[in-house]
Structure 1
């Protein structure tokens, strides 16, 4: 299986991305065939510095990059020699089986829609991601492909999320919940009350509305929401761990450092708190759980976090392999056909 990897995207430069490709080749089974897109001289130098031959991978030379501040729709039309565009074109042509990038999320979504298109019957694509929960994690979508949704979009997201949970979390008949401000079916805006009705007739195990606290409590395996809400939830969660631990340590110092016993207690507790923080960070770490698939497009498209390290890139490639192996796009079409049969997707 051949995958396209954009090695010019991301916050840490091409060295981290190339090393992630090398790690994937060593550790993934079966090892994917990788095609690296980027500046060839830089890639060759990184490979040599890692003790690898410059021809260890197939390299597709590119001369342009899409920056984070650029309009995604404009950039994917104008910068045709960027890794994202070249990779999408190769995926469309069948030269690769999937694409992974830690570059602009907007450009990945725009490029996928422009060059691959949506699957038949899909109204909007959705970015799905792993999210921590008491039940061992859940799927949250949409987390940013759309900021303005209709009820029919959310119903389709439920179907897409089911497939993610089956493919990545390996859950059989995953429970699908709708993120809302209350458990009652009548709660929320018209968007959410109508989505509740549609999800109740969709080919998923719909468990109803789930409040914010219910995400972490593991009340559902799939959490459906509009892209604006999902993106806010995701970014809040990413920022909470370090803040909470620092707050706890600060309060402990304020209250107990007035005595020797208090000082000793803080010293003893500090190691435990730091170990707890390390474990929680591991649970929340995007690097541990691979990239976020763009669901509903005609190809395997994986969006990695901009701060991706070697582990994150390897796991994003692992996710791409898993989605391709399970023919997720084809299964999406099949389930959406059932959804449309209930007059939900029109």
Structure 2
């Protein structure tokens, strides 16, 4: 039966409720391609980051079906790995890799949230014809919308600080990122030393999109966001807001990067190998050529390279080479 509710409630049911999108057998990989699926070079870069920070444990938030964890195990078998996800532990996951529905507290670790926060459900607001900012309500089975009550209290305060829409043109929309702030701060606070890295499409206060970013994905294609459990429902992350929330929880050394910048600093570059190598080592040349192509995809402008990396220390300084970018 179709029901009306806020986007936050409808998205939570659609993604994580009974039969929800993220609990379906095919998992996220059946619908969209992430950096993890694009190349093992991504996992290799994260393994190097862990080593550079002196960390032997990696915690993968929103671990899906364990793809990043398996790739990290191949990149560095000495790493202690743990996945966190609402989905059940994948049957094929090696027994040495830990798994839980909640973040294991009290560990010094590299905590990686790759495309996790964009799926923490949030409410959507819209400015009506009278200039009032109202919560948008949605019908679960159709995606039809209507304007609900005025945004007030903590919601209004968050909008005033991070995504001001007062006085904006009617029809202007925004997404209230407070649940993501809380989720990220809790994740960072769970660490007993280490680094936290959030990787997602994102924006900052000066560049908020006036129509918001709410959308859906199904089988590799962007579709209308209908919260019926058959598609992903997602929106970009207010990266400055989550950074401030983590800093309030004790994080330090905040660094904002694009994925292109971060992966270049960690040694992932789409540089074509010299032709001379094809004569002296044909197999090595083909391998290097493949790596260059995959690196190019991971760092491409207008694609995966535009992902935002938020790197924050939780008792561990942001290591070189990433820290060097803050001084560049």
TM-score, normalised to structure 1, is 0.29
Going by fraction, where is helix more abundant, 1 or 2?
1
Going by fraction, where is strand more abundant, 1 or 2?
2
Q: Which has the larger radius of gyration?
A: 1
